[in-house]
Amino acid sequence: MDKVIGVELSHRFAPIAVRERLALNKEQTIAALQELKKTYEEVFIISTCNRLSIYAFGKSHNEILDYFDQFGNYRQFLSILPDSEIAIRNLFSTAAGLESQAIGEHQITGQIRDALDLGREQKTIGPVLDELIRQAIHTGKRVRLETSIGKFSTSLATVGFELINKHDFNLAETTFLIIGTGNMANLVNTVLDRTKIKKLFVASHDINRAQEMANEWGGEAVDMENMHTALSEANVIIGGTQGEINLLHEETMAESKCPRANFALQAGGHKLFIDFGVPRNFNPSLKNDPNISLYDLDDIKKITYDGLLKRYDEIPQAKKLVNEEVDWFMIWLRNRKVAPVIEAYWNNMEEIKEEELKWLLPKLGNVDEHTKELLQRFTHRLLRKISNPTIEGIKNIAQNIHEQDNPINTAKKILDIEGVDIFIPKKKIIVGTRGSKLAITQTNWIIDQLKEIESDYEFEIKIIRTSGDDGNIEVLGAFTSALQRAMLAGEIDIAVHSFKDIPTEGVVGLRIIPVTERKDVRDVLISKSGQKLIDLPSGAVIGTGSLRRSAQLQQIRPDLEYKFIQGNVDGRIHKMETEGYDAIILAATGLQKMNMIDIATEIFETETMIPAVGQGILSIELIDKAGHILELVKKLKHEPTKAAADAERAFLIALGGGCNMPIAAYAQATETEITIEGVYATEDGKHFEKGTVTGSIDDKKTLARTLALQLKAKVTEKQKAVLSDATTS
């Protein structure tokens, strides 16, 4: 069944160096629309300096991902919008300014409107996206009207003005050079509206356009090739052209190539460069020149952070309004599914009316035109009143179209419109997941596997926020309990978990099934310096949220400092880069699912690092009762993986389940035999035991428990020996 889907590259997850490689100008956007139109009935693209968002109406977002792949491997930076509600909420939030670099800015609404106009021109906008985009624009206007978020918004123009003030220029004695005319109007108008300046140059590849803008602003037009004279005079240089341009690049800057450029840069005192271009207009190496201050879009994001804080108070109310509009549009979208039924029903009613009027009018004798018109209006009003309850009933049914005995079929029979054919899924399954990029990625992968088994089923993703997402990982079931509550409340049908996140204490009424073949169980090291574990200097700080990892690494490098770290993949990498960690340890499978494994410095084989219980295994949790959901999920079960999961879980339970101790286990199963490796240690890693056991697959749990108790006994014996020595001495 077709749905609204999308993929987005934005400033939230992608640095400017990535965004500029995927920035599309108007001609490239048109080409992309036409290419994607071959796959999707409707497609819409927003391409700005801070985002490339592609929305479509179709069956899957995979073809949009394939389009992004032609630029290179950028999937780690992409946000997947795999389902109607997720995609719609993202677009409405974008229009409201909630996803903007400067929260609440107005410019995005105009950019969405321009994108809509371009899509209409290229005939890639159909009835669904047309209504969706118009509703998004309405949502943006409503949020700014009913909250104060717009009053505090900071457009790029205002940010630029604040940067100029920050550098203490006397504007009356300051000369400006504006490069590009398209997006610079707002900034120039902001400056000129607030103060007088000494002189203004306007440079453009289109000298006529430059002259037109210069006349409007009282400035002087400059041809791009003769820009160095203006550059030598200018104190503030602002770039905003979206063309393929890299002004003052390395070749131009080389002394032997262009002395005019170097002279121009050094002349006229300190210079401020503000780069609004994507791709960037000015080479980043200019920041190294003591005579120059250069800011690009990423710098602006950092500078304005404090100024944005006061707008955050308006975000809860803005989100509430966005949610109201999303709910309304979802109702409209569901109603649209039954629109052919309603249209056919009304046409039948109209035909009956016309037939009855043909019977009635001759029997009334001479009837004047006024009376005929009254009869037409009367019968139309009568039909409206008679049909409204039926039509509203059909719309209500549309909101729950996945009933087992679908009432739409009944309605079609009652209304005598059997000839209308609409797609009705056999079943609808609501899949719960956390909202992290990794969780959504693996949930989408599981849904794809289920669709291959039952293509006539519809799967809808529902994001559930957990305690772990809020940073509280100490509670039992930090990443699972919220999903379990939602399932017991009937809000979701199944939940996708990483098996290692599931507590050993089961929930009455729920059942967990390990599914699909196990993925990579290894752990990886990511270091800032690119050094492997053995090469890191003594005292280097390793970030890990796992005692299991730190205890094992201490056996190899006891001279390193192991420091606690938590968060999702992106969050941990950011902390490594900004909070004093030299390296971090992550699971390989998570990086692989996000196409980020190439950032790993070193991959630890299991001989070095035994994985966490259940690492690399996905599981599905569901209500523990027979039915179509259970039968479907069981078809994904991979027996060797399930045997390994059962053995590792038995090992963990034998050691106290969720106790705060370093515990690791890795089982490998064949049809007849199983090998289990295990680790048990004290919390500080000083008393450490590792062992292996092999035996019949039928004895997997007994073997696992035996190994666990043997390792625990050895660690306990070591602790007693140390205590005895201390008492004796």
Q: What is the mean pLDDT of residues 522-530?
A: 95
Query: Given this model, what pLDDT does residue 153 score?
Result: 44
Work out the burial of residue 39: count CB atoms within 10 Å of its CB; fewer than 13 is exposed, 13-18 middle, 19 or more buried. middle
The C-alpha angle with vertex 553 and arms to 549 and 559, in degrees rounded to 5, equals 135
d(C-alpha 137, C-alpha 130), whole Å: 11
pLDDT class of 256 with cuts at 50, 70, 90? very low
C-alpha 18/C-alpha 401 separation (Å) is: 42
Q: Check if the beta carbon of residue 547 is closer than 8 Å to that of residue 683.
A: yes
The token pair at 47 is 């391409």
pLDDT of residue 143: 93
Neighbours of 290 (CB within 10 A): 6
pLDDT above 70 (res 414): no
Using 50, 70 and 90 to split pLDDT, how confident is the model at 300? confident
* pLDDT single digits (tens) 708-723: 999 999 999 998 888 8
> Residue 460's CB: how many other CB atoms inside 10 A?
18
| Side-chain-side CA neighbours of residue 517 (13 Å) | 2
The pLDDT value given to residue 160? 76
186 confidence band (pLDDT: 50, 70, 90):
low
Residue 413, helix vs strand vs coil: helix
Q: Which of left, alpha, beta for 460 (phi over 0: left; psi -120 to 50: alpha)?
A: beta
pTM for the model stands at 0.65
What rounded mean pLDDT belongs to the chain?
Answer: 85
**What confidence category does residue 182 fall into, taking pLDDT thresholds of 50, 70 and 90?**
low
Give the residue-averaged pLDDT of 146-154.
71
* CA 512 to chain centroid: 27
Are 549 and 604 within 8 A, CB to CB? no
Nearest CA-CA partner of 401 in 334, 348, 453, 482: 334
**pLDDT at position 78 over 70:** yes
Query: Which residues of 155-296 form beta strands (DSSP E)?
Result: 175-179, 199-204, 220-223, 236-239, 271-275, 292-295
Confidence of residue 282 (pLDDT cuts 50, 70, 90): confident
Is it the case that residue 208 has pLDDT exceeding 70?
Answer: yes
Burial code of 46-84, b = ≥16 C-beta within 10 A, e = fewer?
bbbbbbbbbbbbbebbbbbeebbeeeeebbbbbbbbbbb
Asked if residues 23 and 242 have their Cβ atoms less than 8 Å apart, the reply is: yes
pLDDT attached to residue 658: 56
Structural class in CATH, domain 639-729: alpha beta
What's the pLDDT score for residue 286? 85
Structure tokens, 5: 């889907």
Q: 501, 520, 523, 582: which is the annotated catalytic residue?
A: 501
Upper half-sphere CA count for residue 371 (Cβ side, 13 Å): 9
**Six token digits for residue 491:** 């809000």
According to the CATH classification, is domain 3-153 in 3.30.460.30?
yes
Q: Which pLDDT belongs to residue 418?
A: 61
Range 430-515+624-637 classified under CATH 3.40.50.280: no
Question: pLDDT value at position 244?
Answer: 45
Question: pLDDT tens digits, residue range 348-384?
Answer: 888 888 899 889 988 888 888 888 889 988 988 888 8
**Number of alpha carbons in the 13 Å side-chain half-sphere of residue 635:** 13
Q: Residue range 473-482: average pLDDT? A: 74
Q: Fold identical between 430-515+624-637 and 523-604?
A: yes
Q: What pLDDT, in 10s, does the model give residues 10-19?
A: 988 888 888 8
Q: Which of the pair, 472 or 677, is modelled with greater confidence? A: 677
| Token pair in block for residue 46 | 């927003």
Least confident of 99-103, 483-487, 523-527: 99-103
pLDDT at 13: 87
Residue spans per domain, the chain = 3-153, 156-303, 338-414, 430-515+624-637, 523-604, 639-729
Q: What are residue 408's phi and psi, to 5 degrees?
A: -60, -40
Report d(CA 249, CA 275) in Å as an integer.
Answer: 14
| pLDDT for the residue 388 | 77
Taken in order 696, 699, 701, 706, is the CA torsion positive or negative?
Answer: negative
CA 473 – CA 479 distance, rounded (Å): 8
Angle ∠(607,608,612) on CA atoms, nearest 5: 90
User: What pLDDT does residue 251 have?
Assistant: 46
What is the reported pLDDT for 670? Answer: 92
What are the phi and psi torsion angles at 127 (to 5°)? -65, -35
**Residues 6 or more apart in contact with residue 207 via CB below 8 angstroms:** 221, 223
Quote the percentage of the chain above a pLDDT of 70.
Answer: 86
- pLDDT tens, residue by residue, 347-357: 888 888 889 98
- Confidence check: pLDDT of 393 > 50: yes
What pLDDT does residue 449 have? 94
Indicate the DSSP class of residue 222.
Answer: E
What integer pLDDT is reported at residue 629 of this predicted model?
A: 93
Predicted confidence (pLDDT) per residue in 603-642, tens digit: 999 999 999 999 999 999 999 888 999 999 999 999 999 9
pLDDT grade, residue 95 (50/70/90)? Answer: very high
Top-confidence range, 204-213, 586-595, 646-655: 646-655
Query: Considering the domain 156-303, what is its CATH architecture?
Result: 3-Layer(aba) Sandwich (3.40)
Q: Which two tokens stand for residue 104?
A: 């609440």
pLDDT at residue 169 in the model: 86
Give the model's pLDDT for residue 493.
95
Where does 523-604 sit in CATH, by number?
3.40.190.10
Residue by residue, DSSP assigns 583-606 as EEEEEHHHHHHTT-GGG-SEEE-T
pLDDT, tens only, 23-36:
899 999 999 999 99
Residue 263 confidence (pLDDT) = 60
Of 351, 309, 159, 314, residue with least CA distance to 238: 159
Most confident of 137-141, 332-336, 409-413, 588-592: 137-141
Report the chain's C-alpha Rg in angstroms.
32
The mean pLDDT of 481-489, rounded to a whole number, is 91
Q: Per-residue pLDDT averaged across 227-256, rounded?
A: 67
Tell me the one-letter amino acid at 272: L
Phi, psi (deg, nearest 5) at residue 568: -75, 180
| 501 belongs to the catalytic site | yes
b/e burial code for range 313-332 (CB count within 10 A of at least 16 → b): ebbeebbebbeebbeebbee
